[in-house]
Copies of this chain bind each other. A is one copy, B any other.
Amino acid sequence: MQEERRLAVLRAIVEDYVSTEEPVGSKALVERHGLGVSPATVRNDMAALEDEGYITQPHTSAGRVPTDKGYRLFVDRLTTVKPMSAAEKRAIATILDGAVDLDDVVNRSVRLLAQLTRQVAVVQYPTLSRSTVRHVELVSLAPNRLLVVLILSTGRVEQRLVELGADLADEDLVDLRSVVNRAATGEVIAEAVTALRALVPDAGTTPLGTVAETLVDAMSDHRSDERIVVGGAANLARYGDNFDSAVRPLLEALEEHVILLKLLGEASTGELLTVRIGHEGPYQELASTSVVATGYGPGDESLARLGIVGPTRMDYPGSMAAVRAVARYVSRILDEA
């Protein structure tokens, strides 16, 4: 019985603190939420919650503020991801359906996510690793120069310019194109790489060797894995206080895509909605920020991740709902493509 009320008190504290940004006291709490008990009772509960480490007071005779542990409990047990309203769903659908290509989908998603949550949004480009090769095109720019274009199932296109040792006749180009495509088209990246390697046992300087090598290089190029788009940085302006402690490190992290990727988490974690709160991550500087992220991709595959980064004092239910909704719509679009 008291246990239940204590949790209600914790929830009330989190909700109040998130909206007012100020430590919340016992009196305000009973007034704003219909707790049906007196402030004194709430005080007792608060003392208990503080003993257990869920809340803390900035100084004696101040209201209480949730700790990271408190937010964690709130997220895990006291909140259900509230579904988006019909209007919001329509807005998401309308905006994302207007996208013309993958770049556009990704860019629109970031903006959308940033708008919905009023936080900084981060979207990772679909990773190469699980996608398949749709087509390889070879374009002759000069007799001894070739443009190799790699088209993937996700819609990504990688191109490389190669210099051949010798001139290549048109018929040979046609041959080369079909050989390469027979080996790679339709295969998952990993398979395609092995197939291409099998074509040229010892890396020679033949046109085929050069092209295969280039393709393998393009496929294993991890720069593309690290591609990330960030949006809504203007929302950082709303942090207001603690500029140095919160905004500065975050601003720095946003530039370091490697760090962002770590924050978003591993794509292999699947579609699960993950929430990292405050100090729970490896980066001390980001102790006052939280990350809400999830995987997305066509079908039930999780090709990449997207999410938002914000202050620990954020609207978790809202953020979680928005992240999940956007991920679902993006996944659906990738499905259709």
Contacts and interface: CB of A to CB of B under 8 A. Distances in A.
Interface of A: 101, 104, 134-135, 137, 139, 141, 147, 149, 151, 155, 157, 159-161, 223, 231-234, 236-237, 243-244, 247-248, 251-252, 254-255
Given A233-B254, A234-B254, A151 B135 contact: no
A248 B135 CA distance: 45
16 contacts: A101-B160, A101-B161, A104-B223, A135-B139, A135-B147, A139-B149, A139-B151, A149-B157, A151-B159, A155-B161, A157-B159, A231-B255, A233-B254, A234-B248, A234-B252, A237-B251
Nearest to A232: B255
Contacts of A247: 237
A45 B247 CA distance: 42
Contacts of A149: 137, 139, 149, 157
A143 to B, nearest CB: 14
A247 B248 CA distance: 12
A244 B134 CA distance: 49
Nearest to A137: B139
Most buried by B among A134, A155, A236, A255: A255
Given A104-B223, A232-B255, A243-B243, 19 more contacts: A101-B159, A101-B160, A101-B161, A134-B141, A137-B137, A139-B149, A149-B157, A155-B161, A233-B251, A233-B254, A233-B255, A234-B248, A234-B252, A234-B254, A234-B255, A237-B247, A237-B248, A237-B251, A237-B252
A49 to B, nearest CB: 34
Contacts of A161: 101, 155
Contact of A147 (B151, B231, B248): B151
Contacts of A248: 234, 237
Contacts of A231: 255
A234 B252 CA distance: 5
Given A135-B147, A137-B149, A233 B234 contact: no
A290 to B, nearest CB: 20
A255 B110 CA distance: 11
Nearest to A255: B234
A174 to B, nearest CB: 10
A252 to B, nearest CB: 4
Nearest to A227: B103
Contacts of A135: 139, 141, 147
A115 to B, nearest CB: 11
Contacts of A254: 233-234
A161 B154 CA distance: 13
Nearest to A337: B161
Contacts of A101: 159-161
Minimum-distance CB pairs A-B, first 5: A237-B248, A234-B252, A234-B251, A137-B139, A157-B159
